[in-house]
Chains A and B, each alone.
Chain A
Amino acid sequence: MMCSLAILINEQAKLLNGVEGFMYPNEIGLQWSVLIVLYPFITGLVAGAFILASLERVFHVEAVKPTYRLALLTALSFLIVAPLPLQLHLGHPERSPEMYFTPHSTSAMAMFGYVYLWYLMAVLVFEIWLDYRRDIVLLSQSTRGPLGWIYKFMTLGSDNISPRSLHIDEKVGWIITLIGIPSAFLLHGYVGFIFGSIKANPWWSSPLMPVVFIFSAMVSGIAGVLLIYMAVTKLRRQPIDMRCVDTIAMYLFYTFLIDFSLEMLDLIHRIYEADESFRSLDFMVHTRLYIPHIVVQIIVGTATPLILLFITQVVKLPERVRKQMYVTAGVLALLGIFAMRWNVVIGGQLFSKSFLGYTTYKMTLITREGSLVAAGLALLPLLILWVLVKLLPPWSPDEKSQHAIGD
């Protein structure tokens, strides 16, 4: 009698916990929250923005030049925030330096600190410094007060802006960008590897995962910079360089197409192979993940922006319509990529490793890993970008007059 009562209470507790079928007892609560969704989303924006910047620097795509510096600053803003969701998620954040001092050689995650530091310091900060060095020196000479001291500090004691010195900067910057492209791939490919290498989880375990992550990163980064460029230009009351946004939109379309093809390849492979996990995953996609996966990620966040971008590629549309379509496609692409991260991270924890049951993710509002903190972390890079843009304006002072002539 007591036992039956206990069972009844337990079944009710399971229902309240959102459990359906059988979960191993320790699987009911999710280990990785929305913050871990945010982490690959942010690093993806970093990698994508950097790759867009490298188009001009390495591949000489002159059309995207107006976004070059903005893309670098965007990448830096998001990279500064990238470790925060991880820190907030850790049970013992004060122990995280151990990853640098005593990394475990077989752990993919142990690489994080090194990849992050390499990318932040050796690639991004160095490249930005080299690119801005002339401006920094000039600003340090023309600015007074605390801001002047900041610029003085940023010169790192080097005020030589002779043509020869700037030429060396240019050469070194080019090499750094060249190193930066594989580094950007490494940064985000590694994030994909963290998930893709977990053999215990069939939703994650795939050698395609790092590649999908890289291409989706490029999509989000390109879309992010496109939107930021259009918004900032509008705020500055400057004309949007249509040649630039048309080119970015073209790259966005082709990258998105590759990303979508890879994701579909993964999906078709899973459906056709239909291994032991398939029934469980299929059920999940048709129930708990239907809205975030089928509706938000595939229909709204991928197919719709792809169609919009396709139209802009094949039909000659007026400038105003193109702008609207780019903004819509950019916003939807970002939404789709965020949904993809959500479906990977949260979706991968909603089913039991026994393939016999499902649980529910309950997002809290005001906790360390709650939605308010996540929203704050998502907006923080934009705040940092605003500060960086004020400190290091990505546009030259004479740009306005150039546009005026061009117009």
Chain B
Amino acid sequence: MKLSRRHFLVLMPAAAIAWKAVLAGTPDQAPNYKLSEHWWGMLIDVPKCIGCGNCVRACQIENDVPDGYFRTWVERYHVHDEDMTNPEVISPDAGKEGFPVVKEDAGKYFFVPKMCNHCSDSPCTQVCPVGATFVTPDGVVLVDPKYCLGCAYCVQACPYGCRYIHPEKKVADKCSLCYHRITKGLTTACCESCPTGARQLVDLKNPQDAIHEFLKTHSVQVLKPQMATGAKAYYNGLDGSVR
């Protein structure tokens, strides 16, 4: 694209404002954010995921996730035609650096991003002995690190393996759905860094959110529906072999 002087003059002020925000290091405050007006979830479009690992890296940087632990990760499934229920799954270093090139052609391959499902009936919240983990009024499961005992009961109770005990803080840690960002009008780090739009932050209380149309027109599932956790990570195109 050829940038004319006219375009340059129009874009300059916008670029200056954006640069100021970047330098400030924090997004604009959202003083009008009302908890009761939101119900957050995540749409994960499985066919769109290319397993690049951008989301894992972005999450680790944004949330200062300790080495060897993950708030989000990507799995690669290899499902053989003759044994659909026993897939081969890999997630080397949580898929942070991508995946090895496929050598065998038989069967099907696909990537599945995983993260906390921010369940509305979350088993982790149910078992916490002091209520240090809780569901916010806008539907995000959070941990209060100043209150958590570090008993790890919630880690045991999560069916999705999304929690861990932080090796230094000695408290439960997990995906916060970038709560510090979404309450300021931004999207999550993983969504922002996804090059294909395989992850999309959704607000089920916002009638303008495209999720409503998407849910109407697509076959969408949650992980392990038999657990009845009220999971809010909605998977489009999810294969039955995914655990």
Contact = CB atoms under 8 A, between A and B. Distances in A.
A98 B147 contact: yes
A371 B78 CA distance: 40
A267 B165 CA distance: 32
B87 A92 contact: no
Contacts, number: 136
A132 interface: no
Nearest to A14: B92
B128 A92 contact: no
Q: Per DSSP, are chain B's interface residues mostly helix, strand or loop, or mixed?
A: loop
Given A3-B99, A86-B151, A198-B156, 12 more contacts: A6-B97, A24-B91, A26-B161, A31-B152, A95-B149, A98-B147, A106-B126, A107-B128, A110-B130, A198-B123, A200-B227, A353-B159
Interface in B93-148: 93-94, 97-101, 114, 123, 125-131, 147-148
A96 interface: yes
A197 B126 CA distance: 11
A144 interface: no
Contact of B114 (A3, A24, A91): A24
Given A27-B161, A355-B243, A22 B171 contact: no
A6 B131 contact: no
Interface of B: 69-70, 73, 75, 86-94, 97-101, 114, 123, 125-131, 147-153, 155-165, 169-171, 227, 243
For the complex of A and B, 8 pairs with smallest distance between CB atoms: A91-B150, A24-B161, A91-B170, A200-B159, A354-B243, A31-B152, A104-B131, A109-B129
Nearest to B88: A22
A11 B128 CA distance: 34
B97 A91 contact: no
Contacts of B90: 22
A394 interface: no
22 contacts: A3-B97, A6-B93, A7-B92, A7-B99, A22-B75, A26-B70, A31-B152, A91-B151, A91-B169, A92-B148, A98-B130, A98-B147, A102-B131, A107-B128, A107-B129, A107-B130, A109-B129, A198-B127, A198-B156, A353-B159, A353-B160, A356-B87
Nearest to A10: B92
Contact of B89 (A31, A201, A356): A356
A237 interface: no
Contact of A107 (B127, B152, B164): B127
Contacts of B227: 199-200
B92 A11 contact: yes
Nearest to B228: A199
Interface string A14-35: 0000000011111100011000
Given A3-B100, A7-B100, A354 B89 contact: yes
Contact of B163 (A7, A26, A355): A26
Nearest to A11: B92
A22 B163 contact: no
